[in-house]
Amino acid sequence: MAQETLNPFLIAQEQIRGAVTELGLPDAVYEILKQPLRVLEVSIPVVMDDGRVRVFTGFRSQHNDALGPTKGGLRFFTEVSADEVKALSMWMTFKCAVLGLPYGGGKGAIICNPKELSTRELERLSRGYIRNVSQIVGPEKDIPAPDVYTNPQIMAWMVDEFSRMRERNSFGLMTGKPLILGGSAGRSEATGRGCVVTVQEACRRLGIDVTQARVVVEGYGNAGSVAARLMHELGAKIIAVNDSSGGIYSPDGFDPNAVLAHKVKTGSVAGFPGTQPIGNEDLLQLECEVLIPAALENQITAKVAGGVRAAIIGEAANGPTTLEADAILHKRGVFVIPDILASAGGVTVSYFEWVQNTMNYYWSEEEVNEKLGVMMRRSFAAVYDMHKTRNVTMRRAAFMVAVSRVAEAMKVRGWLD
């Protein structure tokens, strides 16, 4: 058996190739889209609290800007590579396109363990990064946002540093900022909320009663915990969740809000009263109506996919399913809502934040949530129609919708003959 493809860059390229082929587009479309327009690698020297100087490596990848300035998160993580950042920027292009946003895709990362850094060290690192990438970012060039282990405070430091360099306030540089610096109401819940909207749409089309659904959530960070809470509010039963330190399971379900409070208190969902421990692979293979992977890439592999017993998978994480696993899930009749659709709530509300910064006029949380719901439902319908009309998987359909929009923009701009 051939070795399973785990390199996210190669996975993204294959997904693009498949969509281009299915759409019958010129080879030039794939040649342009198969790699980023530019990738910057930077070295960031930081004076640590003990006086030592450490040099950190950072990246910023800008995949395609045919539809508008590039947009995408910035993660602080120990295990990150240039290929991963490139792939994430590529997925962002198509995530924005499938939602109809006037953006291309970008992504950034710094190789570090933020848990080992003091607040002051994090601030120096954040300011150093934005200084080193300042020539290629900006409100009309490339707009970063929070991602894994980054947060509104880190965005605020970067906005402040960039504003000092430009000698004027430039709040539109970043999204996911604190409200006081032009952040948007509803942004912190947007990824999880958007995923739940798509799950509701899938349940409606598949004849599944959400109020009777059993839900499993892999990854209990922001997106996962929000998705669990919102599904619970709809009447669904949350039967298992996990984080990097362990997992919990109860066939009778549990209150996700109480689990989150337990995690805040103890540092993990593990050990929540009334539940039993469960490993990651077993969690992913629990019998349920809805499985929401909300952790990192390549969690559902070919080995795992053969035992998945969910009716619907709503990918709140980026790239949680490998190519081989995706094919297995399709053959087994699992309805997968792909990441570029299911996890697009975050970038959609980031777009709202950018628009509000530009207008200097801000919406209420209710308005933001309503607009998000409209866009997520409209985008799900477009992908579902492509899925049914062309008899392809939802993932292939999502890429086809997105690639066709980017290709059209490239054609009218004169990038293609």
Mean pLDDT of 340-355: 96
pLDDT of 323 reads 86
The fourth-level CATH superfamily of domain 190-337 is: NAD(P)-binding Rossmann-like Domain (3.40.50.720)
Confidence of residue 298 (pLDDT cuts 50, 70, 90): confident
Neighbours of 212 (CB within 10 A): 11
For 179-227, the pLDDT digits (tens) are 999 999 999 999 999 999 999 999 999 999 999 999 999 999 999 999 9
Helix and strand totals (H; E) in the chain = 15, 12
227/193 Cα distance (integer angstroms): 6
Eight-class DSSP state of 300: B
pLDDT of 8 reads 86
The SS3 call for residue 404 is: helix
For 42-96, the pLDDT digits (tens) are 999 999 999 999 999 999 999 999 999 999 999 999 989 999 999 999 999 999 9
Q: Is residue 4's pLDDT more than 80?
A: no
Q: Is residue 1's pLDDT more than 50?
A: no
Q: Is residue 351's pLDDT more than 90?
A: yes
Give the phi and the psi of residue 372 in degrees, each rounded to 5. -60, -45
> Is the pTM above the cut of 0.85?
yes
Confidence of residue 3 (pLDDT cuts 50, 70, 90): low
110/221 Cα distance (integer angstroms): 19
Question: What CATH number matches the domain at 8-171, 2.60.120.10, 3.40.50.10860, 3.40.50.300, 3.30.420.10?
Answer: 3.40.50.10860
For the record, the structure tokens of 138 come out as 């900006």
Among residues 234, 229, 241, the alpha carbon closest in space to that of 213 is found at: 234
Judge residue 176's burial from the number of C-beta atoms within 10 Å of its C-beta, 0-12 exposed, 13-18 middle, 19 or more buried.
Answer: buried
Q: Is residue 167's pLDDT more than 70?
A: yes
Identify residue 156 by its one-letter amino acid code. A
20/285 Cα distance (integer angstroms): 33
CATH 3.40.50.10860 range(s) for the chain read 8-171
For 369-413, the pLDDT digits (tens) are 999 999 999 999 999 999 999 999 999 999 999 999 999 999 999
The pLDDT mean for the chain works out to: 95
Measuring CA to CA, how many Å separate 390 from each of 23, 174, 223, 309? 10, 38, 31, 26
How large is the C-alpha radius of gyration of the chain? 21
Q: Is residue 296's pLDDT more than 90?
A: no
For the record, the structure tokens of 380 come out as 């799900």
CATH 3.40.50.720 range(s) for the chain read 190-337
417/409 Cα distance (integer angstroms): 12
Cβ–Cβ under 8 Å, residues 67 and 92: no
Residues of the chain above pLDDT 70, percent = 99
Catalytically active residues, by annotation: 107
For 230-259, the pLDDT digits (tens) are 999 999 999 999 999 999 999 999 999 999
For 92-117, the pLDDT digits (tens) are 999 999 999 999 999 999 999 999 99
21/27 Cα distance (integer angstroms): 8
Element (H, E) at 377: helix 365-390
pLDDT of 5 reads 64
